[in-house]
Amino acid sequence: MANRLKPGVKCPVSEWHWTTGTLIPPDPSDGEGEAVVEAVQPFFTKRHFTSKYDIRQQFSGMLYRLRNGVSWGDMPLTWGPTNPIRERQLSWWQKGAWPKVMETLNAGGRGVPAYRRSTLAQFMVVGRDRAGISVQGWTGELGTTVA
């Protein structure tokens, strides 16, 4: 899934979920929300937790995006401003807290796979250019060509 701020950059969190098969859990209950905060605490200083944005609300937004394949630019404002949510998720990922949070919430195996856009199978395209020269190439994902 592309980040609108950096076109073509794939989300490392989505990639990790696809690679590991770790499910995206449902929105956490109040007790599970507390467990998420406890799981993240060892990775950050107290300053991380003194934001004007509610961590549990932002976390629900992160999960929504991963479950539905929504780009950051298209996120509804239900969970607050998008950029602080994106920055928080990235910091959790970079510090190694994200896998710990998923481990905390996936103990019961609940959840759905991270959304993944479908891709086209490879196929051969054969044609002639304007000079009448035969041209062919293999095409993979939409918009990519390998000669």
pLDDT at 145 over 50: no
pLDDT for the residue numbered 124: 66
For 11, other C-beta atoms within 10 Å of its C-beta total 22
Residue showing tokens 């939409």: 142
In the predicted model, what is the mean pLDDT of residues 105-114? 83
Yes or no: say if 16 and 101 are a contact pair by the CB < 8 Å rule: no
117 vs 125 pLDDT, higher one: 117
Which token pair is 82? 């998008």
pLDDT at 133 over 50: yes
pLDDT for the residue numbered 51: 87
- CA 66/CA 111 separation, integer angstroms: 11
Yes or no: say if 41 and 104 are a contact pair by the CB < 8 Å rule: no
Q: Tell me: the pLDDT tens digits for 59-109?
A: 999 999 999 999 999 999 999 999 999 999 999 999 999 999 999 998 667
In the predicted model, what is the mean pLDDT of residues 129-135? 67
Residue 28 backbone dihedrals phi, psi, to 5 degrees: -70, 145
Q: What is the pTM of this model?
A: 0.74
Residue 98: CB partners within 8 Å, gap ≥ 6?
13, 16, 89, 92
